[in-house]
Amino acid sequence: MFGRARLRLALWYAGALAVILVAVGGTAYLILRHELDGEVDDSLSVAARDLLTRPAPVLLGEAPGGNGEPPGGDGDDHSPGGREPSRTIATDVFYLVLKSDGTVLSNPRGIELEGFPLASLARDAAAGSTNSDFNGPDHHYRVVAAPLAASGGSGAAALVVGRSLDARDYQLKVLAYVLAVGGFVGVVFAALGGFWIAGRALVPIRRALETQRQFVSDASHELRTPVAVVKANAELVLRHPHQTVEANADQVVAINEEADHMAKLVGDLLTLARADEQRLTLERAPLNLDELLDGLVRDMTALAEAKGVALSADLSAGRVDGDAQRLRQLGAILLDNAVKFTPAGGTVRVRSWRDGSRSVFSVTDTGPGVALEDQPHIFDRFYRSDRARSSEGGTGLGLAIARWIAEAHGGRVTVESTPGRGATLVVRLPARHRA
């Protein structure tokens, strides 16, 4: 599933880039072609206007037929200022003087006329000025054909001013090649880069989905046992419908205990689910952390003494800003775990102190400690070490809730333990600034 999603994201990314490149490249190509065509048309228009102001004899400064030989020798001067028309226009512009039937009367630049539609150009000029493009054997041309007034019986009827488009076509071809190759390479690299980026982007999504699947699997596993116990004991009761409740007291007690266990598990699951959705808000207020911990120790003393565990406190953390109910829940989870896993005759000590900008409290027990391989995972949901599973049970959600409470307050909870020498759980919270 993630492989297909990754490939799809990469292709969408590459496709979007391809569309952008086509749009930008196409726009750049059209703009350049428009500018080049405008420059060509301007040069032809300027040359045509200049030449049309010349008398026909001046335009016929070369021998009829376009053989390129001036009739008056090198020193002839047929235009105002002593210059021939062919020398007053741009060097890349040529002109022709045609009869009405397309016969060439003048070709000063000696242009190769094979493939020129001379008769068509003469007819177009007779109808009025017109622009046209055409291809010769080796070149691409653009010309302007304009009518000439008859003068002196020369027979001149049309003036054709033209320019080769080879340079313009070459520039456009190079641009198109660069855009095509560059765009293709860019899209390929974009696809590869998009595939890599999509893979990186999907990592947290994959991790979250796997966590969710594991969460559902573990929750189902945890609920299956108490449900089975309740069902089995209920069936035992139903086998003797006429007996009193006292006669089935063991089954009723078992059902009640498992119902309590399921209620706690569902409550913990609901807390974590709402925390994941950020639907749990903290009721922050200034509070004395030492008083909160002292009350918690006082309430837990009876439970500790029932197990033969000594409970003590040394408190000097001061005040914090936090949710009293949630911080009490955090402390209760840590104390309950410590008492639960401390054998009779052991001790549990609660300490708090100020560490710079942090208020810190810890719960230390003299139990078996936490194995090194378990320490990175004890705050994971449903994670329980073997010793926890063996004797005391539990849902494996308490420390996950404790971590959420600490982090929601801008703090963190860590474990320090040497196997066989007990464990210390340390909570660091932002301290309230002293006035």
pLDDT reported for residue 150: 61
Residue with tokens 């010349």: 54
Which among 81, 116, 74 is positioned nearest to 95, based on CA atoms? 116
Tens digits of per-residue pLDDT, 233-278? 888 888 888 888 788 888 888 888 888 878 877 887 788 777 777 7
Tens digits of per-residue pLDDT, 119-141? 888 888 887 777 888 887 788 99
Average pLDDT along the chain:
82
Phi and psi of 93, rounded to 5°?
A: -110, 135
Bin 410: left if φ > 0, else alpha if -120 < ψ < 50, else beta: left
pLDDT band at 434 (very low <50, low <70, confident <90, very high): low
Tens digits of per-residue pLDDT, 191-232? 888 888 888 877 877 777 777 777 777 777 677 778 888 888
Which among 18, 334, 364 is positioned nearest to 194, based on CA atoms? 18
DSSP alpha helix (H) spans, 86-165: 118-127
What span, in angstroms and rounded, lies between the C-alpha atoms of 187 and 4?
19
Domain boundaries, the chain: 2-171, 285-430
Tens digits of per-residue pLDDT, 283-292? 888 999 999 9
pLDDT band at 152 (very low <50, low <70, confident <90, very high): low
Phi and psi of 275, rounded to 5°?
A: -65, -40
User: Over pLDDT 90: what percentage of the chain?
Assistant: 29
pLDDT band at 428 (very low <50, low <70, confident <90, very high): very high
Give the homologous superfamily in CATH for domain 285-430. Histidine kinase-like ATPase, C-terminal domain (3.30.565.10)
How much is the pTM? 0.52
Higher pLDDT, 52 or 347: 347
pLDDT reported for residue 290: 92
pLDDT reported for residue 153: 60
Terminal alpha carbon distance of the chain: 56
Higher pLDDT, 3 or 296: 296
Bin 345: left if φ > 0, else alpha if -120 < ψ < 50, else beta: left
